[in-house]
């Protein structure tokens, strides 16, 4: 199991996690050298040495890749010449939190599966040591059982993994220790627990490594002064920020691109800046476009493949902003260029008179409000969400309990594999939220909270499939899938909260004078319940496996 698991994981780790490759390659090589090479025939020897050669190549390639990163970092440090500390506010250190939590839960499940497999093997050996050896004749074969007749004319039904191997009329040996029985030729097989451990350990190790590396790199930016470089940056319509050399004023050759997340200043300062932008006419059509111009910026940190950076740049109004990487730095693919033209320039909905009239009617019912506006599930939806969450927790508990007591069965694997899907729907049904404030929309789904500034909002709609779609000017879409049933709602003449949300958000987008003038506090923007429910289910599953 360990050889197969590490070999399968290496296919992914070689491409994405060279740090983990350095650790796992020697372990796999040692297993092959000590467990497979001694006593193997000539063809097996050739295959084993081919595997060792491939492992050596992958280890050398991972070494070279990490050495290239070190060279990139040293070149940047020499080119920078000066160091500065990351400015405040730099935001909370959240990079790697979810991968760490998910990795710990998955590794705990894998460890529980290994312990249960080992306990099953030891229990089987203890029973076999004390059991009576009974000679019996096979009288019938089932799909997973054989029926035998002992010398004292007892008829017993014994579980068998391979009943086709026992011919009717043949003689078999049955081990019996009280109510415990099995065929002597079929010792306990922990394949089910091995498969569960393999399915949990591979992504668990990957998540853990990603989380640890992300937190280490992000924390390194705060510990001491870091290299500082003057650069140029621009954002494209895909939401990616492209970085250019300071003297590349035409933006011909991007150095790298990355997804960034904004570090917002205090709410009072932010509200004052947004009010000033609104007074300058920030809500017109031209202001809703993404600013793709080159901006002077300062990078704090050494840009290298997989690194973490902080970028001090300016917004459209020329005010300084601090943003940090939301993903590791990656070199752009060959031929990849920034998308500098809006994909929504020919959006047919902008010229739909019926849609425009409907939005105007909704806007007429709204009054300008200073406080943020919020939408979320109603009492009936929350009740259904609580019931659904309880059903998911109960189903997971009993499924794992059956695995722990009756052993592995394939029909029990499907509920465990679909568990994240049910958790997603439960968290969404119980706690989705949308908040409109002076800065834009804060959208809380099952797993994340996203912020869409007003100038980057294109459209909000409720689809015929019962989903909410919030479209951005860069072409991306935020989904809340499976909230409603439009046909049933039209027949019963219902207007759920998510329908009101799409209508009123569309009105706020078309009429900037109706938008709230206050920024919402962080605690009022909603909490994604998906990670919380996943951790609770993981702890419950681990507790059942360990008991």
Higher pLDDT, 288 or 252: 252
Helix (H) or strand (E) holding 156: strand 155-159
Classify residue 64 by its DSSP letter.
H
Point out the least confidently predicted range of 33-42, 341-350, 428-437.
341-350
CA 21 to CA 103: how far, in whole Å? 17
Work out the number of other CB atoms within 10 angstroms of the CB of residue 533. Answer: 23
Query: Which of 133-147, 269-283, 404-418: highest mean pLDDT?
Result: 133-147
Contact 257, 242 (CB under 8 A): yes
Phi, psi dihedral angles at 276 (to 5 degrees): -65, -40
The more confident residue out of 380 and 280 is 380
Q: 102: which residues sit within 8 A by CB, 6+ positions away?
A: 203, 204, 207, 531, 534
Q: At residue 345, does pLDDT exceed 50?
A: no
CA dist 188 and 116 (Å) reads: 12
CB contact at 8 A, 139 and 155: yes
Q: How far is CA 45 from CA 35, 40, 53, 109, 110, in A?
A: 12, 6, 12, 36, 32
Render pLDDT for 210-224 as a digit per residue (tens, 0 to 9). Answer: 889 888 888 888 888
- Measured at the CA of 524, the angle between CA 519 and CA 527, to 5 degrees, comes to 130
C-alpha torsion sign, points 170, 172, 178, 181? negative
d(CA 167, CA 441): 70
User: What is the structure's pLDDT at 209?
Assistant: 92
For residue 334, the model assigns a pLDDT of 65
pLDDT of residue 62: 93
Q: How confident is residue 178, by pLDDT bands cut at 50, 70 and 90?
A: confident
pLDDT at 117 over 70: yes
Contact 477, 460 (CB under 8 A): no
Tokens 């020499």 -> residue: 78
β-pairing verdict for 132-141 and 241-245: unpaired
pLDDT of residue 464: 75
The model's pTM? 0.58
Mean pLDDT over 465-492 rounds to 77
Q: What tokens appear for 410 in the block?
A: 């394939």
Strand-pair category, 132-141 with 83-84: unpaired
Residues 6+ apart with CB under 8 A from 348: none
DSSP state of 317: T
Convert the pLDDT of each residue in 367-378 to its tens digit. 777 788 888 888
Structure tokens at 161: 């993994």
Residue, of 286 and 413, whose pLDDT is higher:
413
Answer with the residue of higher pLDDT: 393 or 403: 393
The pLDDT value recorded for residue 108 is 93
Domains assigned to the chain: 1-78 (no CATH), 93-212 (2.40.50.140), 225-335 (no CATH), 364-546 (no CATH)
Report the distance separating Cα 182 and Cα 130, nearest Å: 13
User: Which DSSP state fits 165?
Assistant: G
Residue carrying structure tokens 């989903």: 467
pLDDT, residue 269, reads 46
CA dist., res. 135 & res. 132, Å (int) = 10
Q: Taking residues 96-107, what's their average pLDDT?
A: 89
pLDDT score at 26: 92
Is 370:517 a contact under the CB 8 Å cutoff?
Answer: yes
Q: Is the pLDDT of residue 277 over 50?
A: no
Band (274; pLDDT cuts 50, 70, 90): very low
Range from 47-51, 64-68, 192-196, 331-335 carrying the lowest mean pLDDT: 331-335
- Mean pLDDT, residues 23-28: 91
CA-nearest of 370, 391, 395 to 520 is 370
HSE-CB for 32 with a 13 A CA cutoff: 22
Residue 182 pLDDT > 70: yes
Q: Which of 245, 256, 222, 209 lies closest to 69 in space, CA to CA? A: 256
What's the pLDDT tens digit per position in 503-531? 888 888 888 888 888 888 877 777 888 88
Alpha carbon distance 57, 129 (integer Å): 47
Of 61 and 476, the structure prediction assigns the larger pLDDT to 61
Query: With pLDDT > 70 as the criterion, what percentage of the chain qualifies?
Result: 86
**What's the mean pLDDT in 16-45?**
85
Q: What pLDDT score was predicted for residue 282?
A: 43
Q: Cis peptide leading into 183, omega within 30 of 0?
A: no
> Tell me: the pLDDT tens digits for 32-91?
888 777 777 778 888 888 888 999 999 999 999 999 989 988 888 888 888 888 876 555
């Amino acid at each position: 199991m360990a050889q197969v698991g590490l070999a399968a994981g290496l296919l992914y780790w070689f491409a994405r996690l060279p740090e983990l490759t350095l650790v796992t390659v020697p372990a796999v090589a040692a297993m092959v050298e000590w467990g497979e090479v001694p006593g193997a025939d000539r063809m097996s020897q050739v295959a084993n040495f081919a595997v060792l050669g491939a492992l050596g190549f992958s280890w050398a390639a991972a070494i070279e890749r990490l050495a290239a990163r070190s060279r990139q970092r040293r070149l940047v440090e020499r080119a920078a010449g000066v160091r500065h500390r990351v400015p405040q506010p730099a935001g909370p250190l959240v990079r790697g939190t979810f991968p760490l939590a998910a990795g710990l839960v998955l590794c705990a499940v894998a460890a529980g599966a290994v312990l249960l497999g080992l306990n099953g093997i030891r229990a089987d050996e203890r029973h076999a040591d004390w059991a009576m050896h009974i000679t019996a004749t096979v009288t019938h074969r089932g799909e997973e059982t054989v029926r035998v007749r002992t010398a004292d004319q007892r008829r017993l039904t014994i579980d068998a993994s391979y009943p086709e191997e026992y011919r009717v009329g043949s003689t078999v040996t049955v081990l019996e220790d009280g109510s415990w029985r099995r065929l002597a030729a079929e010792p306990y097989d922990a394949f089910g627990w091995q498969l569960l451990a393999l399915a949990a350990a591979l992504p668990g190790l990957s998540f853990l490594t990603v989380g640890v590396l992300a937190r280490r790199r992000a924390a390194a930016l705060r510990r001491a002064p870091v290299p500082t470089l003057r650069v140029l940056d621009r954002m494209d319509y895909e939401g990616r920020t492209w970085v250019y050399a300071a003297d590349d004023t035409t933006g011909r050759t991007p150095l790298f691109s990355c997804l960034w997340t904004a570090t917002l200043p205090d709410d009072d300062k932010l509200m004052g800046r947004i009010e000033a932008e609104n007074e300058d006419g920030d809500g017109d059509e031209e202001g809703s476009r993404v600013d793709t111009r080159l901006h002077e910026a300062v990078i704090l940190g050494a840009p290298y493949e997989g690194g973490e950076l902080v970028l001090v740049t300016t917004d459209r109004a020329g005010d300084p902003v601090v943003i940090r990487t939301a993903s590791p730095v990656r070199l752009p693919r060959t031929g990849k260029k920034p998308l500098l033209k809006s994909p929504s320039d020919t959006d047919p909905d902008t010229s739909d008179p019926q849609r425009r009239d409907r939005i105007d009617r909704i806007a007429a019912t709204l009054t300008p409000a200073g406080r943020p506006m919020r939408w979320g599930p109603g009492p009936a939806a929350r009740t259904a969400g609580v019931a659904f969450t309880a059903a998911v927790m109960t189903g997971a508990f009993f499924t794992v309990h059956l695995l722990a007591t009756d052993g592995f069965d394939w029909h029990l694997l499907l509920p465990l594999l679909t568990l994240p899907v049910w958790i997603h729907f439960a968290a969404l049904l119980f706690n989705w939220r949308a908040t409109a404030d002076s800065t834009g929309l804060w959208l809380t789904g099952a797993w994340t909270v996203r912020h869409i500034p007003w100038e980057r909002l294109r459209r909000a709609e409720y689809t015929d499939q019962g989903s909410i779609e919030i479209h951005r000017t860069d072409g991306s879409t935020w989904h809340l899938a499976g909230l409603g049933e439009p046909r049933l709602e039209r027949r019963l003449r219902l207007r759920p909260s998510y329908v009101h949300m799409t209508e009123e958000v569309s009105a706020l987008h078309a009429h900037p004078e109706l938008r709230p003038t206050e920024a919402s506090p962080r605690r009022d923007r909603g909490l994604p319940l998906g990670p919380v429910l996943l951790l609770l289910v993981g702890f419950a599953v681990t507790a059942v496996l360990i008991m």
